[in-house]
Structure 1
Amino acid sequence: MRITRIERESRLKKRYQIFVNEQALISVHEDTLIKHNLHKGMEVNQHTLRDVMKADERNQVRLKALRYLSYRPRTCNEVRIYLAKLELNPDDIEHMIAELKDCGYLDDRKYAHAWVEERKRNKGYGWLKVKQELKAKGISDRWIEEVHSQFAQEEQRQLAMEIAERRYLRIQHDPWPKIERKLGQYLQRRGFSLGEIYDVLAHIRAQNRIERE
């Protein structure tokens, strides 16, 4: 068998129809065409065509994964879940994850560090909240422990204090037990520890000379 024609498909960009013995047999992406050096006059057999088709399927999955990654950074687990929805078998999924990691498209360590900084800076979240988010995204305990160092104890306390003081201005006319409950629950939802919350509440009460009722 021999490739007698290669024609670009009119409706699909970067896809080509491969004619073998003047019969349209397969359609492949431009990447596959180049990688396998498919050209007019090339001798092929059933084994060659199966390999080309399988390679093209992998390339299609890769392009979908890259499109998914183009919207925003993702974790390995997020991409794994996305690929599973394409009904790929687990081995193919792990092969694609490994390929994307090797090419630098996936890096959970880098992702974890960037996520921590963004959540601290833009959301004012404490460590417990951020840790919960990282776990939900499938970040390994190894990287979670590493990024924990980005939450210095004094920095955490200062962040909790700033958030609580802003919140206090909105509820300062309430009775202290109600203020204490509201601020405590608010800080807890934002991921601060009970020890940090206790210190902040004690500081606000002392700073504003509030008598415990």
Structure 2
Amino acid sequence: MASRKGRAPRASRTERAGSDGRGAPDVPGAADHDGTADPEARARQICLRLLTLAPRTRAQLAGALRDRGVPDDAAHAVLDRFADVGLIDDAAFARAWVESRHYSRGLAGRALRAELRQRGVGDDQIRDAIEDLGPDAEVATARRLVDRKLMSTRGLPPEARIRRLAGTLARKGYPPGLAFRVVREALETEGAEVDESCLDDLDNYTE
């Protein structure tokens, strides 16, 4: 059917999208999918977008830039500038992560350390953040976790109660010595006898 008078023929899908058919114009030097051909400008856009969603470590941002094909020199330059102005601060990230995850999820230092390492935080920064938490806070949180679960274990055989309570702490990264002490205190407060041999393998309790 002839087109209406004065109207240009409609371009094909391939013509509209470019020769690759993915929406990018097939012109040398054209802007990439982030709206700019400048690698550093593109890196800034990516980092700002990610930081708007949630705090990120330098390693996380570096990984995101690498995944998106940003050249290493452009990525390093942008990450250095972001660190200079405080938009990237792994020490502050670690402190906030430790406080949040400890009080909201009850995680102990060992579990928090593993999570921060997965996110690329350095060992010194992790150590400082966990030391800020303090051992008293970890003990108090362990007691709260056991108290919450204690009622649900009543009626179970003593060994099953011990395994259940110890497993709660073990999964959240509490060391065996601390878990033993807190579980024993809770059960003895109820007047229950605690067989210490039941706690020999606290690291393996995952019930």
TM-score by length of 2: 0.73
Q: CA deviation at 1:26?
A: 7.3
Q: Match for residue 140 of structure 1?
A: 122
1:80 to 62, 65, 69: 62
Matches of 2:47 and 2:133, distance apart in 1: 32
1:108 to 90, 114, 136: 90
Contact 2:111 2:172 in 1 (8 A): yes
TM-score by length of 1: 0.71
Q: Match for residue 36 of structure 1?
A: none
1:169 to 126, 131, 151: 151
Matches of 1:65 and 1:118, distance apart in 2: 23
One-letter amino acid of the structure 1 residue matched with residue 58 of structure 2: C
Task: State whether structure 2 residue 179 is matched by structure 1 residue 183.
Answer: no
Q: Match for residue 25 of structure 2?
A: none
The answer for unaligned runs of 5 or more in structure 1 is 1-24, 29-52
Q: Match for residue 91 of structure 1?
A: 73
The answer for unaligned runs of 5 or more in structure 2 is 1-27, 196-207
Q: CA deviation at 1:184?
A: 1.0
One-letter amino acid of the structure 2 residue matched with residue 67 of structure 1: R
Matches of 1:175 and 1:211, distance apart in 2: 11
Query: Once the two structures are aligned, what percentage of the paired residues are identical?
Result: 23
Q: CA deviation at 1:191?
A: 1.5
Residues 209 and 104 of structure 1: CA distance in aligned 2, closer, same or farther (over 3 Å): same
Q: Match for residue 119 of structure 1?
A: 101
Q: CA deviation at 1:85?
A: 0.6
Matches of 1:189 and 1:150, distance apart in 2: 22
| Residue-by-residue CA offset, 1:68-116 (whole Å, 9 max, x unaligned) | 1110100011101100111123232222211211122100011111111
CA RMSD of aligned residues (A): 2.1
Q: Match for residue 64 of structure 1?
A: 46
Contact 2:57 2:88 in 1 (8 A): yes
2:141 to 147, 159, 166: 159
Matches of 2:56 and 2:153, distance apart in 1: 39
One-letter amino acid of the structure 2 residue matched with residue 175 of structure 1: P
Q: Which has the higher strand share?
A: 1
Q: CA deviation at 1:134?
A: 0.7
One-letter amino acid of the structure 1 residue matched with residue 166 of structure 2: G
Matches of 2:103 and 2:40, distance apart in 1: 39
Equivalences, count: 165
Q: Match for residue 207 of structure 1?
A: 189
1:130 to 106, 112, 131: 112
